[in-house]
A and B are shown apart, each in its own frame.
Chain A
């Protein structure tokens, strides 16, 4: 009697083990053979955009599976170099050093595809009376040379500077284009994502921060002047698209090779009217 039960249990266990094995193989499969599965990784600025694209694309193509994750442009490019992602989303161009690494591994310098445009916005608290700022002033504020709103024509209060973690593509873009590669002030508080910067500035009366326009909720966007004499320009569609807004930037897809197969049809769809319509919905700007 007991023995028979033992045998039964053993049989069940064996079945379970086989099931487990099958499941494990199924889970491992995406790592080995990526049939119909596309991984997209990179810029935190572009995560929302990538996810909307993936959702819509998968609705139209039920056989496709697309995984979108963030981590920062640098993280995405590293993943592209390490071969752990098919598509890298980046909010900055790839550096020469990164292209070099890609060539060492794959004998290709990668394929750069602009997929949308972003107007990097300057956030201040909704109660801040300031309406515009020049590129020079931005540099002075974020390098810590100017520390009081009074010096910019605002109230007499200390400026609380919010920045991003140094793994962020936005951090690097802002450093290159606004700070001209100078260091951020040590007083700049680094936030883990654009949403965190928005949240911080929304709560901090005398705060200032930067990030994509798509996230701007409950805060005020400053108009930006190229220099003291030029007009103050808001980060709106027309000005971002024609490049007259001083902080407009292209957003990229990076691939290792010319797009083909599943990845190719996804990229084509992103650049099509349907894909570009989502860009507008999310709050960025289409290419055309």
Chain B
């Protein structure tokens, strides 16, 4: 979801500058285009000029403020939506921390520490919300999520970054125009289709190839999930490589570096923050993605690090169980608490991604 906005920013940067140059020319200044904030000044100057024209003054500026207001409202609506969503989820999860009725069934401590349950030999982390003694251990779900995400990242990062490196550094123009849209097309494949493919076909392949005990497991879900995040990582990384100034490459070549040396020592480090951004955004998507894991992971809440075991992720748990729970009950509250965790995690990874993109801009901006 975050992909389009963040990935477009680097592309729109050049057109921005072009407009800037155009504006600068039209306002009669011969300065070289300054970055960032000056854009506003330039357009302000233009408004000012318009305002000076007699007759049109009130109508034009009225329209201007109106348009500006509308755009502003639109922008703040999405921010308000995010805040409202967070407040709502938080409100539903809040009773978990203080409500005494819910506290009899589940507390934060019961969620995070092994409990001795009747019928079990030793203290254990168990997720069995529909039971005589409902058990809400969070660790099996968190570990399941991390396990699936790790597999997905291990597959998607080399493939995504590698493909981006190839497209930006090695591929000829015609090849690039085939490869790039094809990978980006992958982002448009609905996750339910990927999940179905994993469930019906990929699970059997992987089971035969690796001799796994069960068809559906964290490995299958992770590999299927990687298809969903490869385009995210690819798009952002490709922009990052594209933003490395030619002068860097030329300087390196002039010093006698081979092509691969230039790429390993100059291009990749220069694009580093951009790659980090792509990985962080991919991570956010991987942790939050629901449908693929719901269909392909087997959904058994096993506390194990083995990727060949089935896994139940936080997002799939919420999707599978929320429809059935008693409104406002312990199970309901716990699911919303898990939602808060998920929201916080994706928010942080997306913020890190945005931060890294910003850093890359600053680093490469001066040398452009």
Q: Chain A interface (Cβ within 8 Å of chain B)?
A: 71-72, 74-75, 78, 158, 160, 165-167, 171-172, 175, 181-184, 186-192, 199-200, 203-204, 206-207
Contact = CB atoms under 8 A, between A and B. Distances in A.
Interface string B265-285: 000000000000000000000
Contact of A189 (B310, B321, B324): B310
A94 to B, nearest CB: 14
A16 B229 CA distance: 43
Contacts of B323: 71-72, 75, 167
Contacts of A181: 131-132
B321 A167 contact: yes
A183 B126 contact: yes
15 contacts: A71-B323, A71-B324, A75-B323, A158-B213, A158-B214, A160-B214, A166-B130, A172-B130, A175-B130, A184-B128, A186-B127, A186-B301, A190-B299, A192-B320, A207-B215
A187 B127 CA distance: 11
Contacts of A165: 299, 320-321, 324
A188 B140 CA distance: 13
B129 interface: yes
Interface string B201-233: 001100000000111100000000000000000
Given A166-B321, A192-B320, A186 B119 contact: no
Given A158-B213, A165-B299, A191-B299, 10 more contacts: A71-B323, A71-B324, A167-B324, A186-B128, A186-B140, A188-B300, A189-B298, A192-B294, A203-B204, A207-B214
A253 B140 CA distance: 37
Contacts of A192: 294, 320
A182 B119 contact: yes
B275 to A, nearest CB: 36
B157 interface: no
Q: Is the interface of B mostly helix, strand, loop or mixed?
A: loop
Interface string B123-148: 00011111110010000100000000
A204 B301 contact: no
A15 B8 CA distance: 41
Contacts of B321: 165-167
Nearest to A161: B300
B140 A203 contact: no
A200 B216 contact: yes
Contact of A200 (B128, B129, B215, B320): B215
B51 interface: no
Nearest to B135: A183
Given A75-B324, A167-B320, A189 B130 contact: no
Nearest to B119: A182
A60 B135 CA distance: 49
B221 to A, nearest CB: 12
Which bracket fits the contact residues of B?
20 to 34
B140 A189 contact: no
B300 A190 contact: yes
B128 A183 contact: yes
Contacts of B214: 158, 160, 189, 204, 207
A78 B140 CA distance: 29
A183 B310 CA distance: 18
Interface string B281-324: 00000000000001000111111000001101000000011011
Interface in B352-366: none
Contacts of A182: 119
A60 B127 CA distance: 48
B66 to A, nearest CB: 21
A82 to B, nearest CB: 9
A194 B126 CA distance: 24
B119 A183 contact: yes
B216 A187 contact: no
A187 B131 contact: no
Interface in B324-362: 324, 326
Contacts of B215: 160, 200, 203-204, 207
A63 B300 CA distance: 46
A84 to B, nearest CB: 13
Nearest to A157: B213
A166 B204 contact: no
Contacts of A78: 324, 326
Nearest to A191: B299
A160 B324 contact: no
A62 to B, nearest CB: 33
Q: Which 6 A-B pairs have the closest CB atoms?
A: A167-B324, A189-B298, A166-B130, A190-B299, A160-B214, A189-B300
B302 A186 contact: yes
Contact of A166 (B126, B129, B140, B302): B129
A199 B298 CA distance: 13
A174 to B, nearest CB: 12
Could you say which of A71, A199, A204 has the most chain B C-beta atoms within 10 Å of its C-beta?
A204
A144 to B, nearest CB: 10
B213 A160 contact: yes
Could you say which of B321, B323, B324 has the most chain A C-beta atoms within 10 Å of its C-beta?
B324
B248 to A, nearest CB: 51
A182 B126 CA distance: 13
A187 B310 contact: yes
Contact of B302 (A183, A187, A206, A207): A187
Contacts of B128: 183-184, 186
A267 B129 CA distance: 35
A44 to B, nearest CB: 11
A72 B324 contact: yes
A52 B309 CA distance: 39
Contacts of B312: 190
A228 B215 CA distance: 32
A173 B260 CA distance: 64
A75 B200 CA distance: 28
Could you say which of A74, A171, A187 has the most chain B C-beta atoms within 10 Å of its C-beta?
A187
